[in-house]
């Protein structure tokens, strides 16, 4: 059994997060709180050695990854387009209310990428990393919906939202599948 370990970290806060707007693939930058959150999660991540650091290419994830990597004395190895947040189409930038409700359809929003498609895209990207870096520790900085939807498919659960800059730890083995150890900084299982 070859176990590959993943830390899956959502980017720090943006102004749209604070305003509870759907961001999706719109490239919104971190705010000062988000930068602070990225610096704070370094303390948890520094308890492990990371062989590879990757992120989404969107600015909020890329900046979070750069802050974390610098704090760990490392560099980001790669920006992976498949780790970009779920595209919410015309719903991006909207808050809960009549305009957003008008776009709702079963399973998502009209003109948006489905959560199922985003989850499968994200999970495929993670499993490709596990194949390329088998047995190593991979730090991934990406987006809340993409990471949650990917983990939902990986472990067969319906997980709640992932918090900004929260520590999530999962393990992958090609024969045994996925196991989730930490979710939003809380232990959810015993160590594999």
The one catalytic residue in 85, 92, 113, 115 is: 85
Paired strand residues for 10:
142
| Residue 35, burial from CB neighbour count under 10 angstroms (0-12, 13-18, 19+) | middle
Paired strand residues for 108:
105
The one catalytic residue in 11, 92, 113, 143 is: 11
Is 60 annotated in a binding site? The answer is yes
Compute, in degrees rounded to 10, the torsion defined by CA atoms 52, 173, 114, 8: -40
Paired strand residues for 55:
79, 141
- Please name the residue that has the structure tokens 């947040």: 85
Is 84 annotated in a binding site? The answer is no
Is 148 annotated in a binding site? The answer is no
85 noted as active-site residue = yes
Is 13 annotated in a binding site? The answer is yes
Is 171 annotated in a binding site? The answer is no
92 noted as active-site residue = no
Task: Phi first, then psi: give them for residue 43, nearest 5 degrees.
Answer: -60, -40
Distance CA 158, CA 153 (A): 9
Sheet containing strand 78-79, strands side by side: 78-79, 52-55, 137-142, 4-10, 169-173, 177-183, 186-187
Is 5 annotated in a binding site? The answer is no
Is 119 annotated in a binding site? The answer is no
In 3D space, the residue among 154, 153, 150, 147 whose CA is nearest the CA of residue 178 turns out to be 154
Is 177 annotated in a binding site? The answer is no
Catalytic residues: 11, 85
Residues tagged in the binding site annotation for substrate: 10-17, 60
Residues tagged in the binding site annotation: 10-17, 60
């Amino acid at each position: 059994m070859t176990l590959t370990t993943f830390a899956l970290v959502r980017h720090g806060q943006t102004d749209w997060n604070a305003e509870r707007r759907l961001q999706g693939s719109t490239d919104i930058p971190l705010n000062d709180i988000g930068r602070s959150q990225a610096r704070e999660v370094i303390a948890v991540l520094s308890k492990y050695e990371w062989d590879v650091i990757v992120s989404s290419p969107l600015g909020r994830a890329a900046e979070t990854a750069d802050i974390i990597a610098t704090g760990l004395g490392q560099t980001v190895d790669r920006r992976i387009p498949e780790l970009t947040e779920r595209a919410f189409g015309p719903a991006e930038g909207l808050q809960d209310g009549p305009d957003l409700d008008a776009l709702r359809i079963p399973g998502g929003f009209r003109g948006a990428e489905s959560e199922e498609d985003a989850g499968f895209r994200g999970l495929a990207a993670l499993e490709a990393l596990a194949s390329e870096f088998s047995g190593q520790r991979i730090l991934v900085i990406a987006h809340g919906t993409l990471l949650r939807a990917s983990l939902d498919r990986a472990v067969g659960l319906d997980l709640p939202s992932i918090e900004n800059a929260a520590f999530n730890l999962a393990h992958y083995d090609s024969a045994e599948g996925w196991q989730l150890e930490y979710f939003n900084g809380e232990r959810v299982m015993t160590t594999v």
